Amino acid sequence: MDNKYLQTKSHPLLNLNHPILVKMKKKELSAKDKKLKIRLEKGIQDQDPPLYSRWRRLNRLLPSDPRCTTCMVPFEGPGGKLFEVVFNQKRSTLNPLMCNKCEEIGRRLDFGAEAEMSMLFADIRGSTPLAESMSPIEFKELIHRFYNETTHVLVHSYAIIDKLIGDEVTGYFIPTFVGGKDYAQRAVKAAQDILQVTGHANPEGPWAPVGVGVHTGTAYFGSVSSSDGLVELTALGDAVNTASRLASQAAAGEVVLSESTVRKADLETTNMERRTLELKGKSEPMNVWVLQVGNIIAAKELE
């Protein structure tokens, strides 16, 4: 710091109303918010279904999609109207995947914690040649339909949906939000459902060629705000990168599961193909299991 400012007490930061200081003061949480932040972070780490997952389950029953991918409050239909009129809870103007309340809490509390979770990445295979084979409007419609159908599956499997990028969707299955210890099974079921809704089981073939990867491991999950004010609830860490790499190795109509996913979901592997993959950025080859759309594995019944 330049000494002359200290001597004259005219340094801009000595002004208590300076925008930077005001912003710093704002970051100081109230006692109530501090408690809420601790509860949220503990909730993410907690493996037991807390109150929050029951609240999500309840909201999921209200009509209708689309809904907040965090709290599952509906944006449309009678349920959407109810929340908008009674609680002023509606789609955030910054992040269309989230409601204004979840967005506000994410921004205000800046919360996050490490947790074990299953991570699902689904992407359209060969989207570049696909885009070349159709008009831009047709391609936009295909992507739109892909987002709609896959986010519907993910929301209804209690996943948290991360941002939708290009030709890819991402869902995180976190015990707290999923509501129990069967998060890996739910992720595998959702992966198979995504292949079904994109038409991979149809005799005439899929309307969008999709490959899915599911990995289970520990990642950091929390709110991340960008400079333009957008809040994302996202997961970070090596395990997330691994999940993404698995998806990139899945051919159309395939689900690539990591060993940890198969173990955690307690899957029967007799119908699955075993492969060893060299993943980008990984020193050791990784053993994986591959599910084709036809061989729906018998997982424990999920409600």
Nearer to Zn ion, 105 or 119 (CB): 105
Which of 166, 176, 157 has the alpha carbon at shortest distance from 44? 176
Write out 186-200 in H/E/C secondary structure. HHHHHHHHHHHHCCC
Is residue 68 near Zn ion by the rule CB under 5 A? yes
Interacting residue with Zn ion among 40, 97, 102, 178 (CB under 5 A): 102
The residue ranges of DSSP E strands in the chain, in sequence order, are 112-124, 160-161, 168-173, 210-225, 231-236, 254-258, 273-277, 286-292
Rg (CA), the chain: 22
Nearer to Zn ion, 172 or 289 (CB): 172
Name the region of 127 (left: φ>0; alpha: ψ -120 to 50; beta: rest): alpha
Q: At what angle do helices 100-109 and 31-45 cross, to 10 degrees?
A: 100
- Judged by CB under 5 A, the stretch of 70-78, 129-137, 227-235, 236-244 that binds Zn ion is 70-78
How far does CA 29 lie from the centroid of its chain? 26
How far does CA 264 lie from the centroid of its chain? 19
Min dist CB 105 to Zn ion, Å, is 8
Contact 143/134 with Cβ under 8 angstroms? no
Interacting residue with Zn ion among 99, 154, 178, 250 (CB under 5 A): 99
- Judged by CB under 5 A, the stretch of 98-106, 133-141, 148-156, 238-246 that binds Zn ion is 98-106
Sign of CA dihedral 178, 206, 97, 117: positive
Is residue 239 near Zn ion by the rule CB under 5 A? no
Name the region of 31 (left: φ>0; alpha: ψ -120 to 50; beta: rest): alpha
Min dist CB 16 to Zn ion, Å, is 35
Interacting residue with Zn ion among 71, 115, 256, 290 (CB under 5 A): 71
Min dist CB 220 to Zn ion, Å, is 21
Is residue 160 near Zn ion by the rule CB under 5 A? no
Min dist CB 67 to Zn ion, Å, is 8
Other C-beta atoms closer than 10 Å to the C-beta of 148 total 13
Is residue 297 near Zn ion by the rule CB under 5 A? no
- Judged by CB under 5 A, the stretch of 80-88, 91-99, 149-157, 161-169 that binds Zn ion is 91-99
- Judged by CB under 5 A, the stretch of 20-28, 53-61, 100-108, 273-281 that binds Zn ion is 100-108
Min dist CB 98 to Zn ion, Å, is 6
Min dist CB 70 to Zn ion, Å, is 4
Min dist CB 207 to Zn ion, Å, is 30
Nearer to Zn ion, 92 or 185 (CB): 92
Alpha carbon distance 181, 96 (integer Å): 29
**The one-letter amino acid at 265:** A
Min dist CB 303 to Zn ion, Å, is 22
Query: Interface with Zn ion by CB under 5 A: which residues?
Result: 68, 70-71, 99, 102
